[in-house]
Amino acid sequence: MKRILPIFLMILALSGVKAAQATQASEAPVSQPIAEGAPFPDLKLNGNLSADQSAYLGLPAPGKTQRLSKIKAPFVLLEVFSMYCPHCQREAPVINELYNLIAKRGLAGKIKVVGLGAGNSLDEVEIFRVKYDLLFPLFSDPNLTAHQAVGGVGTPYFYLVARDPKTGALTVKLSRLGRMASPERFLDDLVNAAGLSQEDAK
Amino acid sequence: MKHLARAAFLALFLALCAQAAPGSAQDPSFQESIFPVGPLKPVDSVLAVKVGQTAPDFTLPAINGKKVRLSDYRGVKNVVLSFVPAAWTPVCSGQWPGYAIAQNVFDKNDATLIGVTVDNIPTLYSWVKQMGGLWFPVVSDFWPHGAVAQTYGLLRSDGVSERALVLIDKQGIIRYIDVHDINTRPDLGVLVKEMGKLKE
């Protein structure tokens, strides 16, 4: 039995490798994701937000340029996507489901959802929003400036970022490449990573 | 003991086979299948058409088995010719999947797209199928090799075409040309604005 154990461990290890290769994402050639626990950059965000979307994020007025740290919530889920990425296209309606689920579980005030269109112009982001009737605010990053700042990651990529209410400092709580297994399971992961409990839901 | 070891190796083999399938066949972004192309000379041809002239007509075979004749769209629809350099290359494999979700934008501007490459039909067929299909016709400028690209002045010295967009109005007149840096993707927003101008 002692001789078998390493073989089974090898099976497990190789299975893990294959599973990672099958991640439903467009991999980026040089990707250096920001690790969980590390500080997250205070991104400059450009988007044509509606008044409702600005209100959702607690931003003072619908301006074109915003700062990530100005979003008035303890946590922001940032999806890095591209309208040209088929995985992101298929993930779009799922994120709408997640957005609704967050509200349903009473966490809308705690976790805000935003998208960052890596390499996408404002027009391209708008085409993507209209196509999938997206409920959450989208920002444009045509020159990949913000994309580089967050590690040049593949898409879709999810960062759950915590914001210190006093200092506005941002910290990564969850850092993950690829499509979610389901909105329910992903929200469970977000709640765990954020250290939120059921009592936080109101 | 030997039996156990054999069983373990069989389990390993089955585990690997089972996981190989979804990654390859069902993955429409198929990034692992894409040939890595390094940076290329941004533009490597001399444009032979200009805005204001009648677009040179052509008839090319499409991947659905039919023929596409440019002049058949005369009086019917505005046309955007999207030349991309080659199937199974990085930027090209991103560009058309984006257009795949933008049919309503073209419809709104009473326009259609025609995708053109110098690849042969079987290659184009497989490539587009891997994308999950496209709503617009994809035609092959394979033989005589790159003849249409050549007529437009979009054939590069290595036999592939430029990454170019040619907007043609319903009268068959070229209204906009973007011979783009082959290494980057044109902003769809710019094309949409150009299509919008045709209404004015």
Q: pTM here?
A: 0.84
Quote the pLDDT of residue A3. Answer: 57
ipTM above 0.85, yes or no: no
Q: Do B94 and A14 touch (CB under 8 A)?
A: no
Closest CA to B39 of B87, B86, B90: B90
Query: What's the rounded Cα separation, in Å, for the pair B44 and B41?
Result: 6
Closest CA to B145 of B92, B86, B193: B86
Query: What's the rounded Cα separation, in Å, for the pair B77 and B107?
Result: 9
Query: What's the rounded Cα separation, in Å, for the pair A156 and A180?
Result: 9
How many Å lie between the alpha carbon of B1 and the closest alpha carbon of chain A?
Answer: 8
Residue A62 binned pLDDT confidence (cut-offs 50, 70, 90) = low
Quote the pLDDT of residue A200. Answer: 63
pLDDT beneath 70, residues of chain B = 1-32
Active site residue B92: yes
Out of B1, B95, B188, the one facing A3 most closely (by C-beta) is B1
Out of B15, B185, B193, the one facing A84 most closely (by C-beta) is B185
